[in-house]
Amino acid sequence: MIDVKGVSVFPEALDAAEQAALVDKLRGVAQVAPLFAPETRFGKKMSVRMTSAGSCGWVSDRRGYRYEPTHPSGQDWPGIPDLLLEIWRAVVPEARPPDTALVNFYGDGAKMGMHQDRDEADFTQPVVSISLGDEALFRVGGTERGGKTESCWLRSGDVVVIGGAARLAYHGIDRVKHGSSMLLPQGGRINVTMRVVT
Ligand code: SIN
Ligand code: MN
């Protein structure tokens, strides 16, 4: 385990077969609930495309950041694949089951600005993040914006736990090395974050 300002990074927690199986499950999720590029609350289109699985899913538009019971199309979000729930139980056995799995797809040039995950009700519950595909430079700060930060590369199969004192740590993705992994035939990176929302 690597500690990045209180955030726990478990390199290569998932082997190649598990990564491939997960990609397959996530394709199924995106077939039911297609990826979309949300706008920030300031009206700027995000470079990351997203979808969700679970009883609710994270959405963003000019009305703000929130969880909604349906995809923007009105369709229910698909269930969280068992494979993801198994990873959650293995990594954070003491936590309540997750309500949602947010799936982020980073194509060439996509990144994510520093932010806190704070649209959930219970910050005693961790966020578990899974990286698949291309390598990404992950930056972690403190619980206040603008403090000192540390970075590490996240690679395919790495699992990250954002919990405890670091649950509200600022974090973001500075850049993705497009084509650095063979997992996705067209390149790109998938990140899945499971969260307890209520
Ligand atoms: C996120 O903060 O929602 C995504 C983090 C990542 O892509 O690793
Ligand atoms: Mn986040």
Is 165 in contact with 156 (CB distance < 8 Å)?
no
Q: How far is CA 182 from the centre of its chain?
A: 20
Q: What's the pLDDT score for residue 41?
A: 86
C-alpha to C-alpha distance for 128 and 58, rounded to whole angstroms: 15
Question: What is the Å distance from ligand 1's center to 74 Cα?
Answer: 25
129 close to ligand 1 (CB < 6 Angstrom):
yes
Q: Which of 142, 136, 68 is nearest to 106 (CA)?
A: 136
* Single-letter amino acid, residue 119: D
CATH architecture of the domain 2-195 equals Sandwich (2.60)
Q: Which residue has the CA at smallest separation from atom 8 of ligand 1?
A: 191
Domain map (residue ranges) of the chain: 2-195
Residues whose CB falls within 8 Å of the CB of residue 30, separated by 6 or more in sequence, listed in order = 51, 103
- In order along the chain (198 residues), what is the average pLDDT of each group of 10 residues? 98 98 98 96 94 97 94 97 98 98 97 97 98 98 96 98 98 98 96 98
CA–centroid distance, residue 161 to ligand 2 (Å):
11
Answer yes or no: are the C-beta atoms of 9 and 152 closer than 8 Å: yes
